[in-house]
Amino acid sequence: MNTLPSPPDPLLLPARDPRAHDFVLDYADMHALVADLVLPGNASMYVMSAMETSRELLRHSYYRYEFATVAVTHSLFALEHVLAERLATKEPLHVLIERATDAELITAGLAAELDRSRLLRDRLTQGAASSAALHPLRAVAMLRAVFDAVALLLRPPSTAEATAADADGAQPDGSLARLWEDHLHARFPDGFRGVDFDGVDLALLDADVAGLVQRELKGGLDDSGIACLWGCIADLGKIVPLINEDYCSSYFTKLRTMAQAAAAPYIPTAS
């Protein structure tokens, strides 16, 4: 007589939440959605942990739709912590957001997006909303606002205000020159020389953008230079979502921002 217990049921692999069908084809597409949510390297372990957990919750909303809402509300732990440290005061989150806006540490537009996340958290606490309140694509935008705000707040006071203007869509005089100066001080990602993504060599793309930006700063681009720049921007748009290493992703995201700033004078105006 066999007295051994019955073996447990085999572990079931997670299945796609049926509600995920309208925004991605498969789980791999979730990586592209969160690719530009780059962790700030100068954050505390507490902030890094909260933000990384939020990003991964959003990625896994492919398997559980409600994770998107949880991702946004969880990220507010990091935001509140950074705001309290930067402002040197412990007050409710809505007050901290107002104070940071008044001090021009974040823009009014960014503050409004952060406040929408706070209001969602409050509604969840009060039972006025469910954990399925956010579509994952909306959650991406709200979580990006938290990542942008934390990055701004962790910058030295001398640069926070200028960067806040950029985050609100403004292009102050000399913005391309400032982006170029920042690029000159950035280290090319270790281990990525000679690496290509989808047929695009990262080092060559970096060099091409740098050369075009220099030409733009020195007097402007001709037609062939403009065409080459738009080609680089297209390549950056293609490869940035494929990079799964934080620093490298951040480096090429900033390179794309600089390339887009250089191309801004050549965007046709609406007739």
Shortest CA distance to 54 belongs to which of 26, 73, 33?
Answer: 73
Q: Does the CA dihedral 13-19-25-29 come out positive or negative?
A: negative
Angle (CA) 19 133 64, round 5°: 40
pTM for the model stands at: 0.57
Task: State CA 165 to chain mean position distance.
Answer: 17
pLDDT by 10s per residue, the chain, length 271: 555 566 556 567 788 888 887 777 888 888 888 887 888 778 889 999 999 999 999 999 999 999 999 999 999 999 999 999 999 999 999 999 999 999 888 888 888 889 999 999 999 999 999 999 988 888 988 898 899 899 889 887 654 444 444 444 444 334 788 888 888 888 888 888 888 888 899 999 999 999 999 888 888 888 888 989 999 998 998 898 888 888 898 889 999 989 988 888 886 544 4
Q: Can you tell me the distance from the alpha carbon of 61 to that of 211, in angstroms, rounded to the nearest whole number?
A: 41
